[in-house]
């Protein structure tokens, strides 16, 4: 009789070892290897349909057709999905606890229930009564939404095959387990196997599956990295608990563009779409105050006008502090060094604090000129004209480099009411329509510092 196999698997990276190790040789994590067991192959495959043998097909013989997407009724959610839900797709939604993942998908199902058939909501964490209370608070349309409190993957797939819903939510993947593995729910093996079987079910049946994933303290989705490779789309729900804004960001999308974002506002009645996020982020911006400037950032295909603030003050300690919220810390240190070397600012004995207002996180290099502008403004105690905005990448030699989609940024700024744009000279030379704005092209950091306060 075949014996049950036992091995040790790292819960951070998925590395396997025949014996226990204190430190994972792959990711260098301590005490991350956990014992897991696998049933014999003849028991593991019992009652499971074999995938069958696929036949090779010539590429030219395949008929190309566009996906028949289903709109959810939530414009911002449809945007990050690439235009709607694709049949048979698997979407992974991750985010911090309490950020609004379950709320978002429950509201999505409410919109789908008005135009689709049965929808299956599988909950492994909450009881049906708890979900009903949330649905009443959100004024969710209960028609066609079926709740299934189940954590067994086999039970979930049996119910889904019997009901044949138009879409399915699994909340969350860390609570689901398959009987083929003896390890605890949420382990690396269980998460990988359950996600793979859900993907196989979605592709065979054409039913889109939404998977909610927990996030670790490092900000990544819990479980093996292969989980993100299995699914078609990966969405991260970001936001600061101190702010009401929530950002739904696309990390991976096989059916649309990546790095697309949707902006929501959390209210007592659930998540509300923000049609014009730029105007909302700038609604409480102070005027004629040093250390504040607006940057035209690009998130996916959407230009956003965001406020970047800086506070520069003389340090009371031997080592000056550098703190950044919303932008990369190492990038801020690099730009401070460029300002000292190329613009002559003496910042060695200064504490510097950078903040992107609204809880946003900006990763693109076009924010560089905004950072040096707001630091220079706070250090010199000179405010920048509130009708002026900037964008551009800064190099180590102090040069200002051109960025992509300059005209889209100008259109967004002109729509809000800005009058002057300080942009890289490489972009200024190629602008065909200035949108009624005064365009000032700059080539280096020294020229920038003179232009900011004109």
Measured CA to CA, the distance from residue 207 to residue 201 in angstroms comes to: 8
The answer on 414 and 286 residing in a single domain is: yes
Asked if the model's pLDDT at residue 213 lies above 70, the reply is yes
Task: Give the pair of three-digit tokens for residue 267.
Answer: 């209210």
**What is residue 87's predicted lDDT score, i.e. its pLDDT?**
92
Residue 429 resides in a domain: yes
| For residue 159, pLDDT beyond 90 | yes
**Which segment of 24-38, 75-89, 290-304, 334-348 scores lowest on mean pLDDT?**
24-38
The residue among 294 and 115 whose pLDDT is bigger is 294
57 inside domain? no
With respect to residue 60, please indicate whether it lies within any of the assigned structural domains: no
Q: What is the pLDDT of residues 404-431, one digit of tens each?
A: 989 999 999 998 889 999 999 999 999 8
Of the candidates 236, 251, 275, which is a domain's last residue? 275
Residues 292 and 440 in one domain: yes
305 and 368 assigned to the same domain:
yes
Residue 47 pLDDT class (50, 70, 90 cuts)? very low
Q: Distance of alpha carbon 4 from its chain centroid, rounded?
A: 40
- pTM, 2 dp: 0.78
Examine the domain organization and report whether 287 and 364 are in the same domain.
yes
Q: Which two tokens stand for residue 44?
A: 């593991």
Computed over every residue of the chain, the mean pLDDT equals: 86
Q: What is the pLDDT of residue 450?
A: 81
Range of weakest confidence among 51-55, 106-110, 284-288, 372-376: 51-55
Query: How confident is the model over 277-327, as pLDDT tens digits?
Result: 888 888 888 888 999 999 999 887 788 999 999 999 998 888 899 999 999
Confirm whether 62 is domain-assigned: no
In this prediction, residue 107 carries a pLDDT of 92
- Provide φ and ψ at 324, rounded to 5°: -135, 135
Query: Most confidently modeled of 110-114, 259-263, 326-330?
Result: 326-330
Judge whether 98 is annotated as a binding position.
yes
State mean pLDDT over 94-119: 88
* CATH number for the domain harbouring residue 176: 3.40.50.300
* Beta-bridge mates of residue 121: 147, 169
The percent of residues above 90 in pLDDT, for the chain, comes to 45
Q: Look at residue 64 and tell me if it is in a domain.
A: no
Please say whether the beta carbons of 151 and 124 come within 8 A.
yes
DSSP 356-394: ETTS----SGGGHHHHHHHHHHHHHT-PPPTTEEE--EE
Q: Residue 40: its pLDDT value, please? A: 60
Cα torsion 126, 129, 130, 134 to 10°: value is 130
pLDDT at 48: 42
Per-residue pLDDT of 232-261, as tens digits, reads 999 988 877 667 788 898 889 998 887 788
- Considering the domain architecture, whether residues 269 and 293 belong to the same structural domain is answered as no
Which of 40-44, 52-56, 365-369, 370-374 is least confident? 40-44
251 Cβ partners below 8 Å, 6+ apart? 228, 234, 235, 236, 258, 259
The domain that contains 287 carries what CATH number?
Answer: 3.30.230.10
CA distance 435 to 414: 6
Could you list the residue range(s) of the whole structural domain that residue 98 is in? 70-275
Considering the domain architecture, whether residues 35 and 107 belong to the same structural domain is answered as no
102 known member of a binding site: yes
Q: What is the pLDDT of residues 127-137, one digit of tens each?
A: 999 999 999 99
pLDDT number for residue 183: 78
Looking at residue 418, its pLDDT comes to: 93
Is there a binding annotation on residue 99? Answer: yes
Q: Nearest 5°: phi and psi at 114?
A: -80, -20
Say if residue 73 carries a ligand binding annotation. Answer: no
Mean pLDDT calculated for residue range 22-43: 76
Could you tell me if residue 413 is inside a domain? yes
Do 270 and 307 sit in the same domain of this protein? Answer: no
Average pLDDT over residues 150-163: 94
Q: Which of 219, 253, 275 is the last residue of a domain?
A: 275
Task: Please name the residue ranges forming H helices in 149-187.
Answer: 153-163
pLDDT band at 221 (very low <50, low <70, confident <90, very high): low
Residues 299 and 207 in one domain: no
How confident is the model at residue 225, as a pLDDT? 65
Higher pLDDT: 357 or 35? It is 357
Residue partners of 296: CB distance under 8 A and separation at least 6: 303, 304, 305, 366, 389, 390, 391, 409, 410, 412, 413, 421
In a domain, 220, yes or no: yes
Number of domains in the chain: 3
417 is in an annotated binding site: no
Q: Which of 140-144, 219-223, 273-277, 299-303 comes out lowest in average pLDDT?
A: 219-223
User: How many residues in total does the chain contain?
Assistant: 454
Q: Which residues contact 27 (CB under 8 A, 6 or more apart)?
A: 10, 12, 13, 15
pLDDT recorded at residue 45? 46
Rg (CA), the chain: 26
Residue 337 and residue 293 share a domain? yes
Distance CA 102, CA 211 (A): 10
* 300 and 229 part of one domain: no
The per-residue pLDDT for 217 is: 60
Residues whose CB is less than 8 angstroms from the CB of residue 255 and which lie 6 or more positions away in sequence, other chains included: 67, 81, 82, 86, 89, 232, 233
**Final residue in a domain of this structure, among 275, 300, 323:** 275
Q: Are 105 and 92 spatial neighbours (Cβ–Cβ below 8 Å)? A: no
Residue 334: pLDDT band with limits 50, 70, 90: very high
296 and 440, same domain (yes or no): yes
In a domain, 55, yes or no: no
Q: Is residue 253 domain-shared with residue 291, that is, in the same domain?
A: no
């Amino acid at each position: 009789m075949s014996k049950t196999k036992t091995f040790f698997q790292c819960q951070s990276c998925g590395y396997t070892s025949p014996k226990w190790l204190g430190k994972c040789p792959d990711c260098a994590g301590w005490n991350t290897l956990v014992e897991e067991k696998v049933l014999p192959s003849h028991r593991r495959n019992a009652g499971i349909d074999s995938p069958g043998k696929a036949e090779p097909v010539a590429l030219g013989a395949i008929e190309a057709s566009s996906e028949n997407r289903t709109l959810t009724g939530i414009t911002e959610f449809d945007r990050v999905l690439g235009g709607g839900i694709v049949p048979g797709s698997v979407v992974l939604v991750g985010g911090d606890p309490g950020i609004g993942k379950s709320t978002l998908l429950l509201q999505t199902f409410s919109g789908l229930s008005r135009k689709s058939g049965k929808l299956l909501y599988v909950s492994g964490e909450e009881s049906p009564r708890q979900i009903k209370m949330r649905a009443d608070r959100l004024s969710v349309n209960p028609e066609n939404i079926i709740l299934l409190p189940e954590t067994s993957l086999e039970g979930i797939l049996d119910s889904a095959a019997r009901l044949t819903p138009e879409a399915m939510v699994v909340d969350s993947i860390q609570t689901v387990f398959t009987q083929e593995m003896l390890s605890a729910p949420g382990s690396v093996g269980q998460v990988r196997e359950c996600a793979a079987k859900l993907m196989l079910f979605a592709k065979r049946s054409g039913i889109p599956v939404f998977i909610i994933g927990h996030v670790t303290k490092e900000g990544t989705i819990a479980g093996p990295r292969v989980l993100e490779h299995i699914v078609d789309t990966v969405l991260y729900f970001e936001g600061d608990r101190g702010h009401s804004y929530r950002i739904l960001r696309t990390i991976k999308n096989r059916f649309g563009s990546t790095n697309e974002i949707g902006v929501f506002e959390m209210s007592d009645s659930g998540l509300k779409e923000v049609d014009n996020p730029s105007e909302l982020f700038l609604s409480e911006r102070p005027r004629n105050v040093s250390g504040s400037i607006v940057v035209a950032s690009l998130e996916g295909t959407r230009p956003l006008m965001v406020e970047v603030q800086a506070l520069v003050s003389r340090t009371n300690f031997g080592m000056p502090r550098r703190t950044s919220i919303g932008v990369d810390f190492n990038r801020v240190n690099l730009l401070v060094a460029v300002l000292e070397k190329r613009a002559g600012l003496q910042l060695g004995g200064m504490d510097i604090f950078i903040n992107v207002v609204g809880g946003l996180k900006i990763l693109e290099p076009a924010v560089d000129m905004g950072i040096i502008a707001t630091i220079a403004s706070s250090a010199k105690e000179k405010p920048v004209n509130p009708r002026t905005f900037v964008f551009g990448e800064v190099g180590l030699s102090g040069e200002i480099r051109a960025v992509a989609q300059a005209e889209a940024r100008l259109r967004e700024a002109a729509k809000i009411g800005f009058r002057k744009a300080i942009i890289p000279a490489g972009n200024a030379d190629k602008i065909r329509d200035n949108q009624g704005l005064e365009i000032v092209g700059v080539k280096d950091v020294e020229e920038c510092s003179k232009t900011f306060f004109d």
